[in-house]
Structure 1
Amino acid sequence: MRELNLPVTGATVNVLSTAGPEGADGPVFVLVHGIGMSHRYLTRLHGELAQAGEVHSVDLPGFGRSPKPRDGVTIEQYAEYLGELLPMLSPGPVVLVGHSMGAQFVTETAVRHPTLVAHLVLIGAVTDPTRSSVLRQGLDLGRDTLKEPLDGSRIVLADYLRCGPRWYLATLRPMLAYRTDLRLREVLAPTLVIRGKDDPVSRHDWGVHLAAQAPRGRLLELPGRHLVQFSAATATAAAIRAHVHTPPAPIGEHAATGAAAT
């Protein structure tokens, strides 16, 4: 991994990068983890996508190996971190992939920095406002963890312990409050919503709703649960690679929205 310092915010981000196939002019994929997590539970998906293009998996400030930021925790602030980071990883727009709370980070980034995102992918996206209490989220996550692959659950537990309860709770509040569905209405990039068919955290009705909110959205359900990118990495990567062939938003649309967002 390499440590990158963001020049404007001063935050530090650790990034695991893999070059794509030699001689291939493929897409650039950037993978963003969820609450309490790091790049580690994205490594299977990372490896699968590296067969098609360059891949970067990040540890955002406060998670994994990256130190906690000075500016606290908001979804908007994390979108600004990504807005600084993406041009450091790729000269052109990327395929931006977020899991769980990471889906919120990448959605907000696509709204604020539309010229940096060619395609958007949300995996196990949160938070359904009808299930946004701490109790419901805790119960859903507990039910999921009991039936996830053991090696995936071990990574989750280790990362949660590294994150610590205080920082986890600090990030939980903005996660529960953020309206992913409403912000998706402002996204220009073609959006693929992926969920595991048996995911109790990101449920079917919520997935249908999210895909309908994105102007260019669609839903794909794969066998699996909340960690579908881990348990079904090959199928998830195949869906993302297919999604890349969806034509991106016209340059004029990007420019107009970028000016409005600024």
Structure 2
Amino acid sequence: MPRRPASALAEKWTRIDGVDVFYRESPRPPADARVMAHVHGFGLSGRYLLPTAERLADEFHTYVPDLPGFGRSGKRRDMLDIPDLARATADFFDDRGVEKATLVGNSMGCPVILEFAHHYPERIDRAVLVSPAGGLFNQPLRRAIRQLTTDAPREPVKMARVAVPDYVRFGVPSTTRMFKALVSYPSLERLLELRIPTLVVLGERDPLLPHAHRVGEIASQTDTHVLIVLLEGAAHAINFSHPEQLAHIIRTFMDDLPMKNDPAWPADVRLYEVHRGAHHPPAKDAG
């Protein structure tokens, strides 16, 4: 009996600068589809991003790479800080012939996107930052570990089956070095200098982040293009735990439509708009 594919996306390999890179891609994207790439978090592969990515793959030319040093991709000694991972993302786009894309990140993937936008502003259309990690709120390491320990039981049990093998493969030395790079990265500074439409999605139960209204206060202090949405009932790994809701939020943002709840969602899952930047594209009514 043939093996059931692990994903509705096509599984592929390429070789970039002597390193084997594993990625997933929309099997049959529309010819005029906008490109969307999903960037994974700390120590993880792109596998846990698939529930959301798959729901968007018929509308967008979707890529979900395992960055070098993560998941099934090969390792490089210089792939353990945020600027290196941003360059690796640009190298992946070069290899795939992608000139410009929307980037969707979770956790550590958000600083990678911010660094990508800082160095390659002409190559990013929009940014979607889901549960951004790093900075003072996650320091020192023991505090971050407590936050992760608090978050674990708030995530679906199936998340552990995906995450644990990835963390084991990533290893302790890489974890220590990557954590230092992550918490020293100037995420807030980079976020506030963005000049592209940017969506930040925060989980109301996420212990790794300050309260959503505090993030909104910070964003409101400058002239930004940032839209901040709070998803009630979600914790940190929103891409895995709430893919239907997140795909809806991303789709709405990409089409510049008003943020609205779906009546079919469970009663304990609701979205709230926390902040809309002055120069964020005005929402247009559907239809």
User: What residue identity is the alignment partner of 2:174?
Assistant: W
Residue equivalent to 1:56: 63
Q: 1:27 is matched with which residue: 17, 26, 34?
A: 34
1:216 aligns with 2:221: no
User: What residue identity is the alignment partner of 1:14?
Assistant: F
Q: 1:238 is matched with which residue: 229, 242, 248?
A: 248
Name the CA distance, whole Å, in 2 between partners of 1:88 and 1:210.
37
Name the CA distance, whole Å, in 1 between partners of 2:177 and 2:115.
19
Q: 2:53 is matched with which residue: 46, 50, 71?
A: 46
In the superposition, relative to structure 1, how do residues 83 and 210 fare at CA in structure 2: closer, same or farther (>3 Å)? farther
User: What residue identity is the alignment partner of 2:243?
Assistant: A
Residue equivalent to 1:85: 92
1:101 aligns with 2:111: no
1:163 CA drift (Å): 1.1
Residue equivalent to 2:188: 181
Name the CA distance, whole Å, in 2 between partners of 1:210 and 1:169.
29
Which has more radius of gyration?
2
Please give the per-residue CA displacement for 1:87-134, whole angstroms capped at 9, x wherever unaligned: 433544211011101111111001110111101011110124144211
In the superposition, relative to structure 1, how do residues 240 and 20 fare at CA in structure 2: closer, same or farther (>3 Å)? farther
Name the CA distance, whole Å, in 2 between partners of 1:29 and 1:130.
29
Please give the per-residue CA displacement for 1:130-154, whole angstroms capped at 9, x wherever unaligned: 4421111110110000221100122
Q: 1:123 is matched with which residue: 127, 130, 153?
A: 130
TM-score by length of 1: 0.86
Name the CA distance, whole Å, in 2 between partners of 1:102 and 1:196.
16
In the superposition, relative to structure 1, how do residues 49 and 42 fare at CA in structure 2: closer, same or farther (>3 Å)? same
1:225 aligns with 2:235: yes
1:193 CA drift (Å): 0.4
Q: 1:18 is matched with which residue: 13, 26, 29?
A: 26
Q: Once superposed, what is the RMSD of the aligned Cα atoms?
A: 2.1
In the superposition, relative to structure 1, how do residues 151 and 220 fare at CA in structure 2: closer, same or farther (>3 Å)? same
Name the CA distance, whole Å, in 1 between partners of 2:167 and 2:98.
33
1:210 CA drift (Å): 6.4
Larger RCO (CA under 8 A, 6+ residues apart): 1
Unaligned runs of 5+ in 2: 1-10, 258-287
1:246 CA drift (Å): 4.3
Please give the per-residue CA displacement for 1:151-192, whole angstroms capped at 9, x wherever unaligned: 012211121111111111121110111121111123222110
Q: 1:75 is matched with which residue: 82, 97, 100?
A: 82
% identical aligned pairs: 29
Q: 2:151 is matched with which residue: 144, 147, 162?
A: 144
1:196-215 matches, cutoff 5 A? 196-205=203-212, 207-208=215-216, 211-212=219-220, 215=224
Q: Any idea what SS the aligned residue of 1:185 has?
A: helix
**How many residues are paired up?**
244
In the superposition, relative to structure 1, how do residues 216 and 19 fare at CA in structure 2: closer, same or farther (>3 Å)? farther
In the superposition, relative to structure 1, how do residues 215 and 231 fare at CA in structure 2: closer, same or farther (>3 Å)? same
User: What residue identity is the alignment partner of 1:138?
Assistant: I
1:208 CA drift (Å): 2.4
TM-score by length of 2: 0.78
Moved more, 200-209 or 57-66: 200-209
